[in-house]
Amino acid sequence: MLNEIPPYMDMGAKGKSFWKSCPEHLKEHLAFFLDNGYVVLRKSLPAEYVAQAQQEFAAHKAKYAERYAVHADSNGFQRRLVNLHMALPSFRNIFSKNTIALELQDYLFGSKSSCYTSLTFESGSEQDIHRDSPYFATNPEYYYFGVWTALEYVDERNGALQVYAGGHLLHDPDRGAIVDRFYKEDEDINHFDANLWDTYQAETVAMCKARNIPLVTVAMEPGDTLIWHPQLPHGGAVIQEPHRSRLSIVNHVTPSHVPVSGLAVFFGRRPAPAFGDYPYIEHDGRMFHLHRFVEFAHKDPVAFEEFGV
């Protein structure tokens, strides 16, 4: 049974039993996460699993070279592969063999973490700064993390992650006022409404700037994992060396069967489902939401059973 409000949303968490009962080996990471809204776990994924994933991805890409070529950018890279972990077992290992990252997720949730979706980036995403919570609107709210693992070196020149460190502590923009600006009272909401998303994110970034919250660029090495809080403003830095790849995967994680909705629930125009009646596959003792297709930037779906190496 999950708490109605997850303990890491409590600004007084460090005075509570949640903090006091934290296992010693996680405490430093928990403290950093509570204060900054993210934490980097250095070399949390053993080198053998990094190598396995690199090799399997290279073999997969070679096997489906024609299909990959259709979606490649001008440097031959994929900017966003959706749920590739369904086709590549070594990509599922990035989640399941990442022991300390899982221990921390499980402790934070108070429940076993499972993989909801994943995105693989072969180069930087250059995504504008945003919070993920409008697209991963869970019930109860905020039972979500981004768990991002580097499979190659990442620095400020090849599109590292950028985070407003501590920006998770700022209150939300006024969701009701935002939705009222674009929709009539009984109008249904388009799940991908750019006005709602952009306005919410712009107001969040403006708050970070007004409070001089530092924008930190996070250099990472293969096997390092960054976990971000559902309310952490984050994005991908502008790429200065476009010929450099930046192979990395983000798993979007929740406790199993936590329902995940989108903008209509987040902005209060639809009730949140009580239960996420999702199918799962089990891999290495962890649950992965079953997705039938791998997609290239949300297009050109391929059945995952036909897309292995």
Ligand X SMILES: O=C(O)CCC(=O)C(=O)O
By the criterion CB under 6 A, which residues form the site for ligand X? 119, 121, 124-125, 127, 132, 146, 159, 161, 234-236, 248, 250
* CB-count exposure of residue 152 (10 Å: 0-12, 13-18, 19+): middle
CB of 19 to ligand X, least distance (A): 27
**C-alpha 222, offset from chain centre:** 18
CB of 165 to ligand X, least distance (A): 15
93 vs 201 by CB, closer to ligand X: 201
132 vs 193 by CB, closer to ligand X: 132
161 vs 165 by CB, closer to ligand X: 161
CB of 20 to ligand X, least distance (A): 32
22 vs 125 by CB, closer to ligand X: 125
Taking the C-alpha atoms of residue 304 and residue 120, their distance in angstroms, rounded to an integer, is 15
Helix 89-96 to helix 47-63 angle, to the nearest 10 degrees?
150
18 vs 197 by CB, closer to ligand X: 197
CB of 114 to ligand X, least distance (A): 18
CB of 161 to ligand X, least distance (A): 6
CB of 84 to ligand X, least distance (A): 14
CB of 306 to ligand X, least distance (A): 26
Residue nearest to ligand X (CB): 236
126 vs 174 by CB, closer to ligand X: 126
CB of 297 to ligand X, least distance (A): 13
| Residue whose entry in the numeric block shows the structure tokens 């928990």 | 30
246 vs 269 by CB, closer to ligand X: 246
104 vs 119 by CB, closer to ligand X: 119
